[in-house]
A and B are shown apart, each in its own frame.
Chain A
């Protein structure tokens, strides 16, 4: 009976979204609110805009549906769906970060891991431009040497023995 209950979520800009309870409790924050009985009316989410909330609900719905389906082959399909969901180009980086903040606030571990992994991949792929001039005057000597080792030798060493 509880599984078919609908929960209303209200975004910061006043828009209401009705979702099934199973989808809503993907968020631990919302789950605790429901358990503490604060969810009779709409649950206000002052930190999440409607644009982002719509995306979060889309993510949670997909993952709830995927866990119901019996096929084991769905693991790869789900990963592919996640990759397409999170695909960002330069314009949409703001959305990515908004998603991180929302996933953090709503406490949705899988979405938080997905978004953080994406940012980590961007850092790894040096999509964040490195300002080399900082190396010259910002650091103390010891710190500079450590960073130098990390930038050159350690990475080269890993490439040598890791592949």
Chain B
């Protein structure tokens, strides 16, 4: 907040009416660039942080005074976009490394808040250059460092040793790099760490956690080499794990973790060993293997998640729960109060929803995000398939007695994305059931995004009238709770 403040000066000039062109002796209206010139330096730098770097450099043409203001920017974000050189059309000679060099040479700011190099096409020859850029970042006490490369999996960039001891680093994101096996890691201020497509190992991960005493959020996307995630630090609150078929994480042990998100493809022998402090879990993954193995895995998983008050479940997992439900497996009673499902609500999902309704005895809020995808990622055997030919109303009504949450706790239901599958009989049956049997329901909010479908110019009248007639039907369903409000929201784009 230190810095020039010409607040009074601005008011003196801009008070009064807009001067007309004929009056020559009135002061001319303040030009926009004079207004920005009146802002204190740190505000100008903040404005620069919202602009792509080329626009920041372009401000040097605004006026003489602005010629080198851009060099004070402390937000250096470079997007390589494959850094191609094209000569065939004559004029095109984009050279990313030279551009970065030219900018870095001119930067005068002693400290750089953000330094990002993304989509940089990397090969062995660039290694010294990249090292040099990172040295620059280190010298400028960078707080937010992002290095996401484009390279083959065999040519990962080896992070230089000085990178493991950055004292001011608060946020680090690396992609397609590899970590040294023996250097000590010391990031005393690091709060957020995101590693993508990189080679790690259990040992490296342990050193990272040990060297980052205030680490709060750890994200591993599509990383290879980590079998056991062991986090005994009390500062780490959030862990996000996105796997693919190369990832082989098998075990998570993190007794102080508060939030866990699992997506993508995980290993078939994946398990949670200790997550006793967890308050939020997102389970949106799938696992290769036969039906029995998947059911087994999910049964054990939900056994561990019994105390978690907020659970988010994605399509594949919900469908495995459906299989469990149709097999007659009893769901463990849980403390879940806030349940969010991403599902299509078709016949493959409904039993899974029943499974969760029975398990979550104190459920207060249920949110369903309707998805477009038809998820049947597993092959159902003939016997199970036969079980799925049920009548949706029968299914729900027959289990009504087990749904304790409906009697006392469930107060709020939200359904979004409704227009994608409005009219689906399973969804309507679910809504009808919930309205008719939830005794303490206060609000049911149904939000239909009325997007124009592919190929259409505008919303068809037929679509609109269908939505309206479905809404009218829903509003006419019997409600168990006298105070229940049913609200439809139709945001149009």
Q: Footprint of B on A, CB under 8 Å?
A: 29, 47, 49, 70-73, 76, 91, 93-94, 97-98, 100-101, 104-105, 107, 112-113, 116-117, 119-124, 127-128, 130-132, 134-135, 138-139, 142-143, 145-147, 149-151, 153-155, 157-158, 160-162
Contacts and interface: CB of A to CB of B under 8 A. Distances in A.
Contacts of A154: 54, 94, 99
B81 A124 contact: no
Interface of B: 1, 5, 7, 10-11, 14, 18, 30, 32-33, 35-36, 38-40, 42-43, 46-55, 57-64, 67-68, 79, 81-82, 92-94, 99, 102-103, 106, 412, 414, 445, 447, 489, 491
Contact of A147 (B30, B48, B58): B58
Contacts of A162: 79, 81
A153 B93 contact: yes
Contacts of A122: 32
Nearest to B45: A116
24 contacts: A93-B32, A100-B43, A101-B5, A104-B1, A105-B5, A113-B46, A116-B47, A117-B50, A120-B51, A132-B61, A142-B102, A143-B106, A145-B102, A146-B106, A147-B60, A147-B61, A149-B102, A150-B53, A150-B57, A150-B58, A153-B92, A160-B81, A161-B81, A162-B81
Given A94-B14, A98-B7, A153-B93, 17 more contacts: A47-B5, A47-B7, A73-B447, A97-B36, A98-B10, A104-B42, A107-B1, A124-B51, A139-B67, A146-B106, A147-B61, A149-B99, A151-B61, A154-B94, A154-B99, A155-B54, A158-B81
B94 A157 contact: yes
A130 B62 contact: yes
Contacts of A93: 30, 32, 35
Contacts of B412: 70
Contacts of A124: 51-52, 55
Contact of B61 (A98, A135, A155, A161): A135
Contacts of B99: 149, 154
Contacts, number: 130
* 4 shortest interchain CB distances as A-B pairs: A120-B50, A161-B81, A150-B57, A150-B54
Contacts of A161: 81-82
Given A91-B18, A131-B62, A146 B7 contact: no
A116 B32 contact: no
Contact of A104 (B11, B18, B30, B43): B43
Contacts of B64: 134, 138
B51 A153 contact: no
Nearest to A52: B7
Contacts of B62: 128, 130-131
A120 B10 CA distance: 20
Contacts of A139: 60, 67
Contact of A123 (B42, B51, B93, B94): B51
Given A104-B1, A112-B46, A157 B81 contact: yes
A131 B35 contact: no
Given A94-B30, A116-B46, A120-B50, A153 B94 contact: yes
Contacts of A128: 32-33, 36, 62
Contacts of B40: 101, 104
Nearest to B51: A120
Contacts of B10: 94, 97-98
A97 B482 CA distance: 51
A97 B38 contact: yes
Contacts of A130: 58, 61-62
Contacts of B7: 47, 98, 101
A143 B60 contact: yes
A128 B35 CA distance: 11
Contacts of B53: 150
Contact of B39 (A101, A117, A153): A101
Nearest to B94: A157
Given A91-B18, A127-B32, A97 B57 contact: no
B418 to A, nearest CB: 13
A98 B50 CA distance: 19
B43 A116 contact: yes
B50 A116 contact: yes
Contacts of B68: 143
A67 B71 CA distance: 38
A123 B14 contact: no
Nearest to B62: A128
